[in-house]
Amino acid sequence: MQGQVGSQGQRANTQGLSLKVAWQGMPWKQVHRQVCRLQKRRSRAAQRSAGRTGHKRQQRLVKSWDARLLAVRRMPQDHRGRHPAGIDGAKSLLTPPQRWRFANALRLDGKANSLRRMWIPTRDSPPDKRPRGMPTQADRARQPLVRPALAPAWEAKLSAHADGLRPGHSCHDAIGAILKMTTSARPQPGRHKAAAVHRSWR
């Protein structure tokens, strides 16, 4: 794939059965690779503290056709909460032609719409219920579109030992870092605090 999947004119003129064939035959591995390439460029700009360059690359990632394709694919296909509708009444179960047109029209403009408040049963005690806000179809697709653009910026600035709420990190990474710090023969900053935490877990 050279650059993006197709030009704007080709995407706008594709209709009917060809949209279904185009969506089902989409080279998703190449789409993922293209988005990862844009994310790496954004991360390198953040590491160099190039604010203007990083902002331009972030805008390019948000407006790219590949990122919009992935956002629409994750919204109706991979998202577990795709069945309830928001205040717009539109569900995320779309046909391949509708997904193609939705990706072509997806933009980051304006503010987010209000959430539809629903009460769903809790897992621990079924009689009890908890509130849950359901976004609209457009806002649900904007979330996976913005996340890949924002993640490289803060991932490049966070500490290597910050493992909370980060993709690819878990509590096992934090435990492994503490064990490595406590068992290392070379003195390291914060070793006494880590040893105290390690002893408290025993």
pLDDT of residue 156: 76
Domain boundaries, the chain: 8-157, 159-202
Match 């030992």 to its residue by tokens.
161
Q: Is 66 left (phi over 0), alpha (psi -120 to 50) or beta?
A: alpha
Match 């953040």 to its residue by tokens.
46
Match 């878990």 to its residue by tokens.
170
- C-alpha distances (whole Å) from 3 to each of 6, 35, 103, 121, 132 are 8, 10, 17, 46, 40
- CA dist., res. 13 & res. 19, Å (int): 10
Residue by residue, pLDDT tens for the chain (202 residues) are: 445 554 444 454 455 558 778 888 889 999 999 999 999 898 888 888 878 888 898 899 999 999 999 998 887 665 555 566 767 677 766 788 888 888 888 888 878 788 888 887 887 777 788 887 888 888 888 888 888 888 888 777 777 777 677 777 777 887 887 788 777 656 555 555 554 544 444 4
Q: In terms of C-beta density within 10 A (0-12 exposed, 13-18 middle, 19 or more buried), how is residue 115 classed?
A: middle
pLDDT of residue 67: 92
Three-class SS state of 42: helix
pLDDT of residue 9: 43
pLDDT of residue 2: 46
pLDDT of residue 33: 93
pLDDT of residue 130: 83
